[in-house]
C-alpha cells in the first residue's frame, strides 16, 4: 500500500492575491487573536517566499524563508516550518549554495522523526552531494527506505533546469539518473 505525502515545493503553491508589498498584520492585545494574526502573517510571508521562488529569484526567497525561520522557530505550530526549510534547501541547491549547518541541524532535530519531511530532505541532500561525488549507495538506500511512499505535490522542473545548466557531462548524467529514480515516487 502506497502512503501519500503532500509536499509544498517549487511551483506547488498557487499564488492568489499576494503582492510583493503585502502589509503585515499588527497583533492585537487579545492572545487568541495574536496567534491567529501571527499565523496570517506567517502565511503571507510564506506566499511571498514561494512567489519569488517560482520566479527563480532564489536569493530573495531564501531571505524571506530565513526571516520566517527566525521569527517563528520557537512557536508551538511548527507544521509549516518543515515546508519552509525544505523550500529553502531547494533554493540553496538551485543556486549552488551550501546548506547552513545550523539549518540542517535544526531541521533534523525538529523533523528527523517525520518520514514525509525526511524523504524530501534526503532527495535534496543527495542531489547537493551528488554534484561532487557518486551517491549511488545513498540513492539505493533512499529507494528502499521510502519504497511505500510518494512525493506527491513535488515538481522537478526547476531541478531539471539546474541539472541541464551543469557543464560537466558525467555529473549531469549522474544527477539525471538520480532524479529519474526520484520521479518514480511522484
For the domain that residue 134 is a member of, what is the CATH number? 1.25.40
Dump pLDDT digits (tens) for 131-179. 999 999 999 999 999 999 999 889 999 999 999 999 999 999 999 999 9
Within-domain flag for 20: no
Within-domain flag for 174: yes
Within-domain flag for 19: no
Q: Is the pLDDT of residue 8 over 90?
A: no
Determine the Cα–Cα distance for residues 138 and 123; give it in Å rounded to an integer. Answer: 10
Dump pLDDT digits (tens) for 19-68. 333 333 333 333 444 455 566 688 899 999 999 999 999 999 999 999 99
pLDDT of residue 142: 98
Dump pLDDT digits (tens) for 111-120. 999 999 999 9
Which DSSP helix (H) or strand (E) runs through 13?
Answer: none
Q: Is the pLDDT of residue 2 over 70?
A: no
DSSP string, 51-81: HHHHTT-HHHHHHHHHHHHHHHTTSS--TTH
Identify the domain containing residue 92 by its residue range.
Answer: 3-12+30-183
Cell of 9: 515545493
pLDDT of residue 40: 63
pTM listed for this prediction: 0.78
pLDDT of residue 30: 38
Within-domain flag for 95: yes
Residue ranges of alpha helices (H) inside 79-168 are 81-94, 101-111, 115-130, 136-145, 157-164
Within-domain flag for 21: no
Within-domain flag for 18: no
Within-domain flag for 24: no
Within-domain flag for 17: no
Closest CA relative to residue 52, chosen from 74, 19, 26 = 19
In the chain, the number of structural domains is 1
Amino acid at each position: 500500500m502506497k502512503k501519500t505525502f503532500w509536499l509544498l515545493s517549487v511551483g506547488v503553491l498557487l499564488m492568489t492575491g499576494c503582492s510583493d508589498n503585502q502589509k503585515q498584520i499588527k497583533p492585537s492585545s487579545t492572545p487568541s487573536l495574536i496567534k491567529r494574526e501571527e499565523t496570517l502573517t506567517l502565511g503571507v510571508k510564506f506566499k511571498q517566499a514561494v512567489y519569488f521562488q517560482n520566479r527563480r529569484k532564489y536569493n530573495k526567497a531564501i531571505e524571506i524563508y530565513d526571516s520566517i525561520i527566525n521569527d517563528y522557530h520557537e512557536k508551538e505550530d511548527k507544521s509549516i516550518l518543515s515546508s519552509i526549510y525544505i523550500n529553502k534547501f531547494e533554493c540553496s541547491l538551485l543556486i549552488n549554495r551550501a546548506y547552513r549547518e545550523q539549518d540542517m541541524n535544526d531541521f533534523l532535530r525538529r523533523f528527523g522523526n517525520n518520514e514525509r519531511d525526511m524523504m524530501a530532505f534526503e532527495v535534496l541532500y543527495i542531489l547537493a552531494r551528488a554534484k561532487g561525488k557518486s551517491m549511488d549507495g545513498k540513492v539505493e538506500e533512499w529507494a528502499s527506505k521510502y519504497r511505500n511512499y510518494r512525493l506527491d505535490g513535488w515538481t522537478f522542473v526547476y531541478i531539471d533546469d539546474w541539472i541541464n545548466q551543469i557543464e560537466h557531462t558525467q555529473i549531469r548524467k549522474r544527477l539525471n539518473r538520480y532524479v529519474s529514480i526520484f520521479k518514480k515516487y511522484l
